[in-house]
């Protein structure tokens, strides 16, 4: 019997995502000036106020206020009427030095490979071949809707009433073979300016979403995904009727409250650890990227149609305590999931120092990840602005390195494909 599955996303102007972007902007500033920096930065945003706190050990100096205000300006919090704007909001910093007790187990010893995991815990990576970027379709479409909405807002030529805060949700109908057959429902709520005539407000926004936003997103998709759009999609656009008060003025925001948006939209599994504001010695982040890299290459190699990969660590210990794989019965090789996991453990070095080195995680690449998902984005060389003691400067970095399909041939060889 057909079934429905739903995922959501939130825009860069959502208060929790604002907090994530602040935390990662601070992290990037430290890494840009001292790649060995240890950072665990949390942010809180509310009406007219940003509070940052956490632990840092670094040789770098970072102008915290400058990093935060630049981030808020880029998001679009530029007007006093939002009750939260980059130029006038208060900023409080309670960042202090990292615990020496943690440092003694995590720091690199005489040999780099001795670097221990920054904490215990389990991390998951997931991939599916239902999209070209090996991401779950419902989440991929949810992200695309909000990225396109932000592009429209920043261009300022259409839907000129848009404000930064927004949420999306997409429901996909699947058949008995777990293949997507149509888009059932699209939910989109966007913050907006006050309309002169409120009775036409919601109708205008719904019309613009259906006739402007959705066609743009659809046009960017491959034909097989475009075919899932039909005339029977149920739309819920700003279902409460009005969304003028939003962003940190409407709701307080905290770093790490959108971990499902950041990963797979409820598909697969999540170990519980947030990403933003953490340097790569924290395996909550780096190992989640590493397991995504494994899962994506595994599916791309044709070993399975979808795969979940789990790794787990003990704090201060370099070698993982375990590697687990679940192919959900979709494996194309004559091996059980335990045998697949054992083979993968010989191909991928999951010690923290090896993950950091192989994926280039000591670069200032994290601000790019802090909105619209950490997974499923193209790995590419990109020019980014980084904050130095001399001011802002541009650097070329490779972003989303865990999305590379650079181990497909190795996997095919190991599995006889």
**Which residues fall in the annotated binding site?**
14, 16, 42, 55, 98, 165-167, 242-243, 251, 257-258, 274, 278, 282
Entry pTM: 0.94
| pLDDT value at 265 more than 90 | yes
Give the three-class secondary structure for 267: coil
Domain boundaries along the sequence of the chain:
3-10+136-247, 121-128+282-415
Among 97-111, 212-226, 319-333, the minimum mean pLDDT is found in 97-111
pLDDT at 369 over 50: yes
Three-class secondary structure of residue 86 per DSSP: coil
- What pLDDT score was predicted for residue 219? 96
Write b or e for each residue in 369-403: b if 16 or more Cβ atoms lie within 10 A of its Cβ, otherwise e: bbbbbbbbbebeeeebbbbeeeeeeeeebebbbbb
Mean pLDDT of 154-171: 96
- 271 closest CA partner among 286, 258, 281, 284: 284
- DSSP string over 212-223: IIHHHHHHTS-H
**Banded pLDDT at 110 (limits 50, 70, 90):** very low
Q: Binding site for ATP: what residues are annotated?
A: 14, 165-167, 242-243, 251, 257-258, 274, 278
Instruction: Cite the annotated binding site for Mg(2+) by residue number.
Output: 16
Task: Give per-residue pLDDT as tens, 113-146.
Answer: 677 787 889 999 999 999 999 999 999 999 999 9
Transcribe 264-314 into DSSP letters: TTTSS---S---TTB-TTSHHHHHHHHHHHHHHHHHHTTSBSEEEEEEEE-
**CA–CA gap between residue 270 and residue 172 (Å, rounded):** 21
Q: What are phi and psi of 415, to 5 degrees?
A: -105, 10
**Token representation of residue 299:** 């599916």
- What mean pLDDT is predicted for residues 51-67? 94
Q: What is the mean pLDDT of residues 391-412?
A: 96
Instruction: Kindly report the CATH class assigned to 3-10+136-247.
Output: alpha beta
Distance between CA atoms of residues 198 and 205, nearest Å: 11
Confidence of residue 349 (pLDDT cuts 50, 70, 90): very high
> By the 8 A CB rule, do 10 and 148 touch?
no
Helix (H, G, I), strand (E, B) or coil at 20: helix
Taking a C-beta distance cutoff of 8 angstroms, is the pair 38, 127 a contact? Answer: no
- Known binding residues for K(+) are 42
Residues 171 and 183: beta-carbon distance below 8 Å: yes
pLDDT at 164: 97
Q: Does domain 121-128+282-415 have CATH number 3.40.190.10?
A: no
104 Cβ neighbours under 8 A, 6+ residues apart: 316
Q: Is the pLDDT of residue 350 over 50?
A: yes
Token output for 411: 């996997």
Render pLDDT for 7-21 as a digit per residue (tens, 0 to 9): 999 999 999 999 999
Secondary structure element (H or E) that encloses residue 75, with its range: helix 64-75
Rounded to an integer, the average pLDDT of 271-286 is: 96
pLDDT digits (tens, 9 = 90+) for 169-183: 999 999 999 999 999
Report the share of the chain in percent with pLDDT over 90: 87
Q: What is the pLDDT of residue 100?
A: 53
Average confidence (pLDDT) over 196-215:
89
Nearest to 383 by CA among 372, 391, 393: 393
**Weakest-pLDDT range from 199-208, 298-307, 402-411:** 199-208
- Catalytic positions, written as ranges: 14, 16-17, 42, 55, 167, 243, 251-252, 257-258, 278, 282, 284
Q: How does residue 257 score in pLDDT terms, banded at 50, 70 and 90? A: very high
Residues with Cβ within 8 Å of residue 194, at least 6 apart in sequence:
244
The first and second tokens of residue 368, run together, are 């790019």
Identify whether the C-beta of residue 128 lies closer than 8 Å to the C-beta of residue 5: no
Given this chain, do its domains 3-10+136-247 and 121-128+282-415 carry the same CATH topology? yes
Residues 75 and 17: their CA atoms lie apart, in Å, by 10
Sign of the torsion formed by the C-alpha atoms of 391, 396, 400 and 402: negative
**Once rounded to an integer, what is the mean pLDDT over residues 253-276?**
97
- What are 306's two structure tokens? 């979808």
Strand order in the sheet with 234-237: 3-10, 162-174, 180-192, 234-237
Q: Which residue has the tokens 């805060």?
A: 165
């Amino acid at each position: 019997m057909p079934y429905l599955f739903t995922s959501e996303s939130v825009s860069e102007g959502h208060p929790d995502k604002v907090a994530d972007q602040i935390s990662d902007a601070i992290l990037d500033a430290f890494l840009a000036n001292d790649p060995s920096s240890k950072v665990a930065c949390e942010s809180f945003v509310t009406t007219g106020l940003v509070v940052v706190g956490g632990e840092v050990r670094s040789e770098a100096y970072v102008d915290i206020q400058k990093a935060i205000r630049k981030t808020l300006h880029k998001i679009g919090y530029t007007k006093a009427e939002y009750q939260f704007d980059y130029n006038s909001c208060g900023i409080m910093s309670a960042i202090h030095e990292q615990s020496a007790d943690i440092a003694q187990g995590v720091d690199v010893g005489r040999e780099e490979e001795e670097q221990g995991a920054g904490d215990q815990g389990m991390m998951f990576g997931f991939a599916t071949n239902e999209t070209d970027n090996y991401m779950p379709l419902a989440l991929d479409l949810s992200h695309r809707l909000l990225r396109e909405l932000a592009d429209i807002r920043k261009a300022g030529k259409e839907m000129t009433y848009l404000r930064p805060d927004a949420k999306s949700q997409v429901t996909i109908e699947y058949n008995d073979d777990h293949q997507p057959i149509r888009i059932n429902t699209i939910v989109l709520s966007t913050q907006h300016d006050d309309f002169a005539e409120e009775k036409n407000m919601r109708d205008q926004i719904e019309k613009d979403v259906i006739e402007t936003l959705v066609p743009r997103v659809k046009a960017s998709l491959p034909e097989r995904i475009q075919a899932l759009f039909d005339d029977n999609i149920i739309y819920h656009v700003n279902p409460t009727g009005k969304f003028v008060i939003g962003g940190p003025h409407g709701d307080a925001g905290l770093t790490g409250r959108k971990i499902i948006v950041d990963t797979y939209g409820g598909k697969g599994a999540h170990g519980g650890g947030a990403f933003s504001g953490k340097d790569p010695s924290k395996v909550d982040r780096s190992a989640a990227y590493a397991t995504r890299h494994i899962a994506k290459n595994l599916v791309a190699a044709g070993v399975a149609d979808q795969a979940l990969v789990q790794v787990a660590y003990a704090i201060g210990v370099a070698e993982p305590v375990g590697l687990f794989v679940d192919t959900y019965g979709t494996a194309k090789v004559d091996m059980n999931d335990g045998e697949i996991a054992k083979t993968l453990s010989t191909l991928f070095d999951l010690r923290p120092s090896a993950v950091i080195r192989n994926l280039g995680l000591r670069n200032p690449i994290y601000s790019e990840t802090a909105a619209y998902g950490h997974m499923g984005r193209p790995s590419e060389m990109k020019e980014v602005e980084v904050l130095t003691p001399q001011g802002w400067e541009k650097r070329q970095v490779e972003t989303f390195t865990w999305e590379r399909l650079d181990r497909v041939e190795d996997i095919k060889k190991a599995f006889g494909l």
